Amino acid sequence: FTPPRRHHALPHTHLTMVSTSPSQTTSTPHDIVRVDLADGRDYPIYIGSNFSDDETSEMLRRHIHGKRVLIVTNERIAPMYLKKYQDLIEGEGMRVDSVILPDGEEYKTWEVMSTILDKALELGLDRKSTFVALGGGVIGDMVGFASAIYQRGVNFIQIPTTVMAMVDSSVGGKTGVNHPLGKNMIGAFHQPQCVFIDTSVLVTLPDRELKSGLSEVVKYGLIRDAPFFEWQEENMDKLLRRDAEATRYAIKRSCENKAEVVQADEKEAGMRATLNLGHTFGHAIENGSGYGYWLHGEGVSIGTVMAARMSERMGWIESGLRERIVRILEKADLPVKLPKDSPMTVETFNKLMSLDKKVADGQLRLILLKGELGSCVFTGDFDVDALQATIEEFVKDIRA
Ligand SMILES: NC(=O)c1ccc[n+]([C@@H]2O[C@H](COP(=O)([O-])OP(=O)(O)OC[C@H]3O[C@@H](n4cnc5c(N)ncnc54)[C@H](O)[C@@H]3O)[C@@H](O)[C@H]2O)c1
Ligand SMILES: O=C(O)C(=O)C[C@@H](O)[C@H](O)[C@H](O)COP(=O)(O)O
Ligand SMILES: [Zn+2]
């Protein structure tokens, strides 16, 4: 893994998509994973590749109940995909407007999010309007939040365009923006009407962003799906080569895992917090290094190794499991430690982690691995010395 530069050029990548789903005569083969929620809020996640225009149009319009739509995307994605989706949703009395936001985690702010609200008001959008998030996790989180608070809530649809968004952020209704004092600190739970995943858009996704998404794929294996982790150990190289069948399987299995967790604990009373494995460390690294320096999945990757090391220190997992975790993340070409020029200090970790959303009554709670592969705990009952020793070890490594 090569540490990032602040402005990286986007390479153009090409791949051949081969669909391996059972063939159907009437529609492009696709999977549907359902998120079953109470009060009629359940929704489908459509997963396919190269959907025809007619199918795309029909599937999206099925979930739009009014006559006004606002597609929100960013400066990088707009030239590639905005017109296509605008054209496919428009027509039959439907008016589609758009907002184009600046690109990057550093723009995941209240100020930028509120420009969506400004535009919606200027356009006179009413409560039957639907917002569409066309982009990665940054766009999805901000549009979801804007739709949660616009006129006290309007419908929204997720069209994820990164691996990160396809395997994680578009599903489950966590929406929000960052604050200088902490990541995703301002937000709301607000579920989409549907998630429309057409993996063919990944053809333009740079490798670095692809790998970042794989970090959350590894997470599902570690917290609850050992067979999926073992599958990843066998197939990581295929995911890196963008093999269509492997990619599609990883997205589907990730969505199934996420849907099961969200269904069981939509608002994070307990179990949902396990989706935060590595995130308390990772969010501190993202914020402490300056939003936008690390991609989310990169911070989570280092954070996952820190959580594993802390678990190992407490005797909760065998060292062999920690080594396996480091191996798979390295195989995914993700960072497993802080780079030499990292500004992170013990104090920065402690300060930022003390503001984590899982802190309750002043007590930090963490997701730690315990027992065999696929098992974890969400707990405040851990050895504080093991936490401090872990932070010191990772910080010392960059100063060595
Ligand atoms: N709500 C949740 O449950 C949840 C889960 C995971 C992550 N997140 C959030 O998601 C964000 C990270 O998401 P991300 O990794 O998708 O980052 P991102 O949205 O910044 O996208 C990464 C980069 O890829 C570009 N891009 C997107 N799609 C593209 C495409 N098809 N072709 C070419 N370029 C494309 C984007 O413009 C951006 O430059 C973080 O803010 C994180 O906190 C939220
Ligand atoms: O959906 C969830 O729940 C998650 O925790 C998924 C995480 O991958 C994601 O990064 C999430 O945004 C982090 O949530 P937060 O509550 O720690 O901000
Ligand atoms: Zn995450």
Residue 240, pLDDT above cutoff 70: yes
* Four-residue CA torsion sign, 380, 385, 390, 394: positive
Distance CA 349, CA 174 (A): 24
**What is the distance between the alpha carbons of residues 188 and 239, in angstroms, rounded to a whole number?**
32
Burial, 314: exposed, middle or buried (Cβ in 10 Å; 0-12, 13-18, 19+)?
A: middle
Residue 126 has pLDDT above 60, yes or no: yes
Using a 6 Å CB cutoff, which residues line ligand 1?
A: 74, 76-77, 103, 105, 108, 135-139, 141, 161-162, 164-165, 168-169, 172, 174, 184, 201, 204-205, 209, 212, 295-296
pLDDT higher than 60, residue 185: yes
Listed range (18-22, 70-74, 241-245) with the worst mean pLDDT: 18-22
Query: Which one is the CATH code of 30-204: 3.40.50.150, 3.40.50.1970, 3.40.630.40, 3.40.50.300?
Result: 3.40.50.1970
Residues of the chain with CATH 3.40.50.1970: 30-204
Mean pLDDT of 8-28: 39
Rounded to 5 degrees, what are φ and ψ at 269?
Answer: -70, -30
pLDDT band at 333, cuts 50/70/90? very high
Considering only residues 154 and 24, tell me which one the structure prediction assigns the higher pLDDT: 154
Q: Is the pLDDT of residue 159 over 80?
A: yes
Confidence at residue 3, expressed as pLDDT on a 0 to 100 scale: 67
User: What stretch(es) of the chain map to CATH 1.20.1090.10?
Assistant: 210-399
Model confidence band, residue 10 (pLDDT cutoffs 50, 70, 90): very low
User: Hey, which residues does 134 pair with through a beta bridge?
Assistant: 159
Average pLDDT score, the chain? 93
CATH number of the structural domain 210-399: 1.20.1090.10
Long-range contacts of 314-320 (CB under 8 A, 24+ apart): 314/368, 314/382, 314/383, 314/386, 316/368, 316/369, 316/370, 316/371, 317/369, 317/370, 317/371
Going by C-alpha positions, the residue among 249, 216, 257, 198 that lies closest to residue 35 is 257
Closest protein CA for atom 11 of ligand 1: 137
Residues catalogued as catalytic:
152, 174, 216, 258, 268, 272, 276, 279, 283, 296
Q: Is the pLDDT of residue 24 over 60?
A: no
- Which residue of 179, 276, 280 sits with most ligand 2 atoms within 8 Å of its CB, as the best mutation to test the pocket? 276
pLDDT for position 1: 74
Mutate to test the pocket of ligand 1, among 8, 108, 138 (most ligand atoms within 8 A of CB): 138
| Ligand 2 centroid, distance to 272 Cα (angstroms) | 9
Tell me the whole-structure pTM to 2 decimals. 0.94
Beta bridge partners of 33: 45
Q: In this structure, what are the phi and psi dihedrals at residue 16, rounded to the nearest 5 degrees?
A: -100, 125
Determine the pLDDT at residue 233: 98
- Is ligand 2 within 6 A of the CB of residue 184? yes
In this predicted structure, what is the pLDDT of residue 5?
59
Q: Residue 188 forms beta bridges with which residues?
A: 175
pLDDT of residue 58 exceeding 50: yes
Cβ(296)–Cβ(286) below 8 Å: yes
Q: What is the rounded distance in angstroms from the CA atom of residue 235 to the CA atom of residue 250?
A: 10
